[in-house]
Amino acid sequence: MRTLPSRVDKQPSASFFANILAYLAETYPNAKFSDEDLAKLKPIWEDLWRAGRTAEATAQTTCTCNGKTLFPSASIAVEYKKGIARPPVRAPRGAMYGLTDYRESPALERQKKLTTAAVKKVEAVNADIKKFVEELRQNPPRSERAAEAKRARLGVLQQRLGEAIDLARAYAQQATVARTEANLGWSRHLPGLPAAPKPVEAPEIVAKPKAKKAAAPKPDKKADTAAPKPDKKPKDSAKSEKSKAKGKAAEQDKDTKMQAAIGAALAQQLEQMGFTKKS
């Protein structure tokens, strides 16, 4: 609690206490103003007077009563610093929001923005790894060289992911420490700080060569040569047989005519030589 320079190490006037007690008597008519209760309140009232409070303001803000006994208000122990809670950006005058809508101090808000940005980066790298894994599933490497290239690519993505997660956790830890040091009870009503998502698991990359197609069996040439040739059509076979018969008859007729010619010539020669045909 701040103290006015002009009131350092000074005591309030007696009228200050008189006005406080009269105000409280009007407020709590059934209260018992015991010396013990007033002795507990007197140091608090003195500090408030040194901070510039009037008797009326002191009575209104520092005391409460259960109907009979006066005791200090719980708000007295709170050392509130102006600016630890701020309204939403461009909030109109007269507007009041729920606790979850108010902003914290500028330093804490900057820390929260850094944490949120780091978490979004983690999500983006996770998305890249998911895409890489899907492409790997649809198009696996066919050679060890291709598998090694994909392992290198995955290593780069995983390194980026690890760095982003470490950064997000560091910012979140700094924001948590800042809240703890500020001891702001009202921050319990605010949304928690964003947490980095878990890293995507990637499969082991192994080369998967394409399976060779089984060769078609070659035809057996020996079997082809040994196989009987297909018979000709019945029509062609009949024509062939007919042609053969005609040719054979023509040959026989030709032989008969030749033998007859040879016999006639021989008979003529024998006749010329004086041989006659016996009757």
Q: Which residues contact 222 (CB under 8 A, 6 or more apart)?
A: none
Query: What percentage of residues in the chain have a pLDDT greater than 90?
Result: 30
In which domain, by residue range, is 130 found?
Answer: 106-189
The two tokens of residue 176 are 């948590």
Residue percentage of the chain with pLDDT more than 70: 80
Calculate the dihedral angle through the C-alpha atoms of 96, 101, 107, 111, rounding to the nearest 10 degrees: -170
State the pLDDT at residue 52.
Answer: 92
Distance of alpha carbon 165 from alpha carbon 195, whole angstroms: 9
135-148 core/surface letters (b: 16 or more CB in 10 A; e: else): ebeeebbeeeeebe
Query: Per the domain annotation, does 121 fall within a domain?
Result: yes
- Band of pLDDT at residue 260, cut at 50, 70 and 90: confident
* Residue 199 banded pLDDT, cuts 50, 70, 90: confident
pLDDT digits (tens, 9 = 90+) for 136-193: 889 988 898 999 999 999 999 999 999 999 999 999 999 888 887 776 677 777 888 8
Domain boundary among 57, 77, 97: 77
Residue 122 within a domain = yes
Predicted TM-score of the model (pTM): 0.54
Residue 54 belongs to a domain: yes
Q: pLDDT of 3-30, one tens digit each?
A: 899 999 999 999 999 999 998 888 888 8
Instruction: Give the pLDDT confidence of 101-121 residue by residue, as tens digits.
Output: 888 888 888 998 999 999 999
Residue 190 has a CB neighbour count (10 Å cut-off) of 18
Say if residue 62 is in the same domain as residue 120.
no
- Within a domain: residue 82? no
- For residue 92, is it within any domain? no
Structurally, how many domains does the chain consist of? 2
- The answer for residues whose C-beta is within 8 angstroms of residue 72's C-beta and 6 or more apart is 40, 41, 44, 62, 63, 64
Q: Are residues 180 and 110 in the same domain?
A: yes
Neighbours of 200 (CB within 10 A): 17
Q: Given 159, 174, 189, which residue is the final one in a domain?
A: 189
In a domain? residue 99: no
60 part of a folded domain: yes
Q: Identify the pLDDT of residue 216.
A: 63
Same domain, 59 and 128: no
Is 34 in a helix, a strand, or coil? coil
Of 161, 189, 217, the domain-final residue: 189
Is 91 within a domain? no
Query: Does residue 178 share a domain with residue 123?
Result: yes
Does 112 lie in the same domain as 59?
no
Give CA–CA dist 191/267, Å, rounded: 145
